[in-house]
Amino acid sequence: MNETSLPPALDARLSLRVFDGSSAFVVEAELALPSGVLVLFGPSGVGKTLTLLALAGLLDVRAGHIRLGDETLFDAARGVCVPAHRRRVGYVPQGQALFPFLDVAENVAFGLPRGQAGVARARALIDELEISHLASAHPTALSGGERQRVALARALAVEPRLLLLDEPFASVDEEGRASLRGVVAEVVRRRGIPAVLVTHDASEAQAMGDHMVRFARGRTIAAGAPRALLDAR
CA distances from 2 to 7, 11, 37 (A): 11, 19, 21
105 or 164: CB nearest another protein: 164
Cβ at position 15, least distance to another protein in Å: 20
Q: Which of 14, 104, 115, 106 is nearest to 66 (CA)?
A: 14
Q: Which of 46, 125, 120 is nearest to 90 (CA)?
A: 125
Cβ at position 88, least distance to another protein in Å: 7
What is the C-alpha to C-alpha distance for residues 9 and 32, in angstroms, rounded to an integer?
A: 8
Main-chain dihedrals φ then ψ at residue 80, nearest 5 degrees: -95, 130
Of residues 161 through 190, those in contact with another protein by CB under 8 A are: 164
Of residues 26 through 65, those in contact with another protein by CB under 8 A are: 53, 56-58
Q: Of 100, 114, 232, 233, which lies in the binding site for another protein, with binding defined by CB under 8 A?
A: 100
Cβ at position 50, least distance to another protein in Å: 12
Count of residues touching another protein (by CB under 8 A):
28
42 or 111: CB nearest another protein: 111
Query: Binding pattern to another protein, positions 104-143, x when CB under 8 A?
Result: ------xx--------------------------------
Sheet holding 80-81, edge to edge: 80-81, 71-75, 63-68, 10-20, 23-33, 219-224, 211-216, 37-41, 195-199, 162-166, 89-92
Stretch that binds another protein, among 21-29, 60-68, 148-156, 216-224 (CB under 8 A): 148-156
What is the C-alpha to C-alpha distance for residues 222 and 229, in angstroms, rounded to an integer?
A: 8
Residues at the site binding another protein, with contacts judged by CB under 8 A? 53, 56-58, 83-91, 93, 95, 97, 99-101, 110-111, 151, 154-155, 157-158, 160, 164
